[in-house]
Structure 1
Amino acid sequence: MSLPSITLGDFVVLPLTFPPLPSFPRAVKHNLYLRPYVPHTEDPNSSEQKTLFVTNLPIDATEVSLRKLFKDQLGGYLLNSVRFDDDIRSGNSIADTNSSTARAQATKGKKRKHPGMVDAASVERAEIMTLPRTWDTIPLKSGSSAVLVFVDIASAEGALRAAKKAAKSQTEIMWSQAMDPDESSTGELRYRRHQLASFPPAHVLQRSVNAFLTHFNSLEALRERLRTQQRNVPDEEGFVTVTRGGRMGPARQEEAEQALQKVREKEEARRKEMGDFYRFQWREKRKEKELNLRKKFQEDVRKVEGMRKRKRAIKPERI
């Protein structure tokens, strides 16, 4: 009887055993494929040497289950993080996505009075605004992949050697997630948790609604300030934007002309600071300078000719 192959191309074939369940009382084999992670772009400063690429993951695989697999059954090597290929993952809630978006918006184009103050407020508001989740975990697609980031290079290499050794010796590796029904992302328990999460407490919903209304009011105040600025500041052509405004009407004509004059002065000063950039501007300026010199020369010639005529016309008086 031939032994099963422990490699497939660059991959190490690691057989996993799914224990029997009441719904399916028979153990099932499942192959997990591992190899060193090769990034698409070579970066000498990257830490990809301490990562492994795994594919054909079980649909109930989570970061916790993968940590258990390497820690308890494959040499005790520790994982630093797990990056799944799916965007929607267990533990990546909508609040996490909104928090990262709010963190990016809070630091963009704002002067913070105190380091971290704006970030913390924006992130907290985004988390409160998010409605409670109804699904605690989302199963993977069949044949999904992930990148396992270990704590160091030695741990990544040791984990790959442990997988080869277990595959070669045909050591039975039990899939720990299926052995713990309280952490399983499939089955009846998952739908029970979904049923309970579909009816969150009233105070949780009220907190989310209040946070959303507070955020909406702050945005409306910002829009009103922008409309007020548009009503009172004319554009470059001297026109005032017609906006919907309460008691504050559009700016007076005198104020509009003064504001337009200031805009023109700023534009003229900026143009003088920049100077002539293009070659045709230099040519035009040189032609204009030559034309002015010719005009001045002709005027000087006429003045000299007039002085000569006046000198010849003057006759000395005889005494």
Structure 2
Amino acid sequence: MVPEMEKLGFKVIPIKFAAESTAQHSLFVKEHAVRVNTDVKPPHRTLFVLNIPSYSTEASIKRVFSEKCDCPVEAVYFHKKPTSSEPPEEDSKFFTSAAIQGFKVGYVVFKSSVGLKAALSLSSIDPLILSSESKPVSTGYEKWAKEYNQRIPDSKELQAEIDKYMTEYDAEQEKIKMKEKEGEADEEGWITVTRRGRKPGFSRKESVHKKVMGRERQKRSRKELLNFYTFQIRESKMKHVAELRQKFEEDKKRIEMLKQARRFKPY
């Protein structure tokens, strides 16, 4: 597998959990380069990393690359599959998305391009050590106990977050109901009229708007560029002149036939 990844332009960097560990894995790294760049993964500063072991954490990857490359790491993003976007932001402290299981794909964003160059020139023999005595990475029972304790929420904080979410949800639903009631008579027969008038052209619902825009995109995609080139314009004009001449000759024959039919013939 290693020679195949090297052929694809990846550099191989060994990695171990601890210095005394016998087992090690191989990280496959290269510069993150895509057609459409984003602010979260800027070009010339982002390292694309494959085959990140499951025991790795964002903090440990950030620490080891910062130390080895002698350049601060601004952010580390983990994904299940390669992507140019950043992971979705967690709005809730308690209701979070499931953690990525198994090997991961990572993006290491350095503060400057110097860090990226240093990462691409790391030794392929000297392995990176994720867990050290000063900054250990928890595993096994310690990790499971920590994760279990983190899953036990504080009842007051949880209730506060739920109340905040329900308040925002109720306000949003109230706005939707007000929009749906526009143009409809209330119990006393009054009608709320907006700038759009009593009979809007189409519904204000987002689903209807998406359908209309989708149809417009399909129409634009099916359009053909007519008379775009010079020879097409010339051929179109010649064809039009030929059609006019043919119509003129047909009209002449029709007039001649009418004259023959009206001519007086006593014998």
Instruction: Specify which structure has the higher proportion of helix.
Output: 1
Note the C-alpha offset of 1:231: 1.6
Q: Percent identity between the aligned chains? A: 18
Note the C-alpha offset of 1:179: 8.0
Partner Cα distance (1:131, 1:37) in 2? 31
1:1-319 matches, within 5 Å, as 8-9=6-7, 10-19=9-18, 27-39=22-34, 41=35, 47-72=42-67, 74-86=68-80, 96-98=89-91, 130=92, 132-133=94-95, 138-142=99-103, 144-161=104-121, 163=122, 166-167=123-124, 170-176=125-131, 180-181=135-136, 183-184=137-138, 186-232=139-185, 247-249=187-189, 251=191
Note the C-alpha offset of 1:134: 7.4
The answer (yes or no) to whether the contact 1:50–1:151 under 8 Å persists in 2 is yes
Residues 85 and 219 of structure 1: CA distance in aligned 2, closer, same or farther (over 3 Å)? closer
Normalising by structure 1, we get a TM-score of: 0.47
Structure 1, gaps ≥5 residues long: 99-129, 233-244, 264-319
- The one-letter amino acid of 1:141's match is G
Give CA-to-partner distance per residue, 1:212-241, whole Å, 9 cap, x none.
332243234324433542324xxxxxxxxx
Helix, strand or coil: the match of 1:35? strand
Q: Which runs of 4+ in 1 moved over 3 A?
A: 177-181, 247-251
Partner Cα distance (1:221, 1:147) in 2? 41
Structure 2, gaps ≥5 residues long: 201-267
The answer (yes or no) to whether the contact 2:76–2:109 under 8 Å persists in 1 is yes
Normalising by structure 2, we get a TM-score of: 0.55
Note the C-alpha offset of 1:190: 3.1
Note the C-alpha offset of 1:55: 1.0
Note the C-alpha offset of 1:211: 1.6
- The one-letter amino acid of 2:72's match is L
RMSD: 4.0
Partner Cα distance (2:164, 2:36) in 1? 45
Residues 224 and 155 of structure 1: CA distance in aligned 2, closer, same or farther (over 3 Å)? closer
Note the C-alpha offset of 1:79: 1.7
The answer (yes or no) to whether the contact 1:18–1:30 under 8 Å persists in 2 is no
Helix, strand or coil: the match of 1:19? coil
